Structures are given as C-alpha cells and as structure tokens.
Amino acid sequence: MYPHTINIDWLQIYLHDENQGIENLAMIYNGKSSYEFKKAEYTSRQFSQVYDIYDSDGDHYAVLQRIPFSNIISYDGAILKLANRELYKSTMIDTLILFLEYHRFAFKSISRLDICFDSNTLKNGLKHSTLIRGLQNGKYLKNNQGQAKQNFEVQSKTNRIMECNSISFGSLSSAVKTKMYNKTKEMNDVKYKPYIVESWQKNGIDTNKDVWRIEISIKADMTNIVKLDTGETFRLTTDRLKLSTDIQNIFYTYAARYFSFKINDGKKNKTRMPSLEIFPERSIITSQPIRITLQNDESRSDKIFLNKLHRIQVELRNIDDNTLSAIEEVRRAFCIATGLSKYYNKKIRIKNERRK
C-alpha cells in the first residue's frame, strides 16, 4: 500500500423543484434557512434562474439552476452543483440530504460525477511520467478508449518539449472520460486549493513532491453498474456516496474498465498480455459500469413480445386458420415497425425449426 487519496471532485445532481410558483427563493429562505440564496443577474443555457448558495460560515455551498426554458426538461426540473470545497468534507452527503429536504428539492439522479485518485507515484514506485512515456513508445497499451490527448510543458526559449504533464482519454461526447495530470502544477498555475493539500497531508502524501491525479468523469447515462456474479444492476445515487469505502469501490470499478493497461510483450492478442498494476492491492472487481438506455429497454421488451407472439403461433392448439393468419399479420407488421425482421428469422424462426 502506498499513500493516496480517493475523493469526489465534481458532483452535479438533477432534482425536482417543489418550490413551484415561487419567483425568488431568496425571498422565501433567506433569514429562515441557515443558507443564503443569491440570485444571479444572468441565466444559464437551459434554465432561467441561477442561484449561488452560501452556508452559515459564508462559504460557497452550491450553484442551483431552476425553471427550465425548454419543455424538453420537466417544468420542475433543476440542477444543483456542489462547490468544490464541500466535496472534501466527510459529512458532504449527510449535509446535502438535509439541505434538499429543508428546501423542498427531491433528488432524482446524478448528472455528473468525477472521482479522483491522488498520489506521488503509482504501484511499485512507477512514476506517472514513466507511464505516459510507456504509452507513447508502445511499451504499455491501454484497454478501451486508446486514443489519447496529451499536453506538454514546452521550454519557452528553445521550444523544446520538457515533459508531458497530462494525458486524457475519451472525447467531449464520451459518457466516461479519464485524465491523468500533474495536480500540483495545475494548482500552482491555476488555483491553489488548501483543502485538497490538507487531505493529501492527512493521508501521508508528500506535498513537497509533485502530486498527480487520475480523474474519472462520469455522465448520467453511465451511472448504472451491474454486479457480474448476480446480474443485478443498480444506479449510482447519493446514498451510495456516503462512505469513503463506497467512493473507493466506485472509483476502482470504473478504473478497471476505463483506466487499465497492458504490458506489451509482443503477443498479437492484447487480452493475453500481462496487466500493468498501477493501483494498490484490493479485492477482485465484481461489478462493471453499464449503459442502460430507453432504446435498449424498448428493444428488449419488443423481443420478449415477439417471442411470446411466436409461441402463441406454434404452441397453442385448436386455433382456426383465420386467427393464425391474423396473428401472422400482427407479427409481420410488428417486425417491420420495430426493425426486428432479421432478429425474428435468425433467432426465433430458425431456432424453432431446428427443435422440430
């Protein structure tokens, strides 16, 4: 085991706003709630109202967007993004649940979740920069999302490339994106965050050396996880983010699929190459992210219906010809409407003929 931290670094959730008919939340809650709502003078792309919310200590707590412009979003839909500082508090989820209850918001789903792994080095002392160079020269190969984007530190006088300080995988439209970068450099260049440094120090990370971050960014349509041993699926919710062990398990589940590597030993089949171990020893991963879309659900339901329809045709006895013809007409029309004609011929009809 080597010093590291695993934290949530972005949490944005979709809510149902039960404050309908209230034009300005500041007029209702300021002075009554322990939070202060400040209505912005601008709008967002999707919502007509934006609020900055501050806690009783005057610290920025969250940004709330409500009252959607488009009827594509439910009229009572709202988005809440927690402030970065809040995410590093151990009571973050308990505080959030109380906030939602008091201010009449109902949690519906996670719209974006970023989880990060911070350390000085990787397993067995492997440097992050060494991993990047290995990916550049083919010594290491990435599983899934192999196309990488890289950022280099360039020496200003000679334009000579000094060091690659970040590498990312996945496009802007990807449901899951990963990035590995020099977090110390980023905070020195952009914004220093003392609460992050404090979490490093508490977990034994040497802040006198560069700290690197491996970040996994998850969008709403990839927040479903399937348990490989039982087939049970569940969706990520705030209840599953309460404990640090839960957050760690989620990180490792996604990392196993989206941030894992092979040692290139020359074999043609990459799956047979030895794995490059970069994270601490832990139990075997028994779950996997899965995309469940409405289209997939509908397609599955359509196939179940088609199978039942076929069984009616072949298994029921004493059906007159007119009824059979009517069932066949329904079956054909349904196959055309759903695009399942090929599926029916290959998976249902031929399979049934082989059984005869």
Tens of pLDDT along 235-283?
899 999 999 999 999 999 999 999 999 999 998 888 899 999 999 987 6
| Kind plus residue range of the DSSP H or E element containing 177 | strand 176-182
* CA quadruple 262, 268, 272, 275: dihedral, nearest 10: -10
CA distance 93 to 267: 46
Q: How far is CA 344 from CA 7, 26, 55, 208, 325, in A?
A: 48, 58, 59, 64, 17
Q: Which two tokens stand for residue 300?
A: 């599955």
* CA quadruple 10, 15, 21, 25: dihedral, nearest 10: -30
Lowest-confidence pick of 44-58, 113-127, 317-331: 317-331
HSE, CB side, 13 Å, CA atoms: give it for residue 110.
25
Q: List the beta bridge partners of residue 37.
A: 53
DSSP state of 174: -
Q: Which two tokens stand for residue 171?
A: 């496009």
pLDDT, tens digit, for every residue of 74-130? 999 999 999 999 999 999 999 999 999 999 999 999 999 999 999 999 999 999 999
Predicted local confidence at residue 294, as pLDDT = 46
Answer yes or no: are the C-beta atoms of 258 and 201 closer than 8 Å. Answer: no
CA distance 127 to 203: 19
Predicted local confidence at residue 355, as pLDDT = 53
CATH number, span 5-113: 3.30.160
HSE, CB side, 13 Å, CA atoms: give it for residue 253.
21
Check residues 58 and 72 and name the one with the higher pLDDT. 58
CA distance 107 to 96: 10
pTM flag (> 0.85): no
Closest to 306 (Cα-Cα) out of 267, 244, 351, 261: 351
- Helical packing angle, 321-338 and 294-315, nearest 10°: 160
The structural domains of the chain, with segments of one domain joined by +, span 5-113, 115-290, 295-355
Residues 6+ apart with CB under 8 A from 34: 55, 56
Average pLDDT over residues 132-158: 72
Predicted local confidence at residue 145, as pLDDT = 67
Radius of gyration of the chain (CA): 26
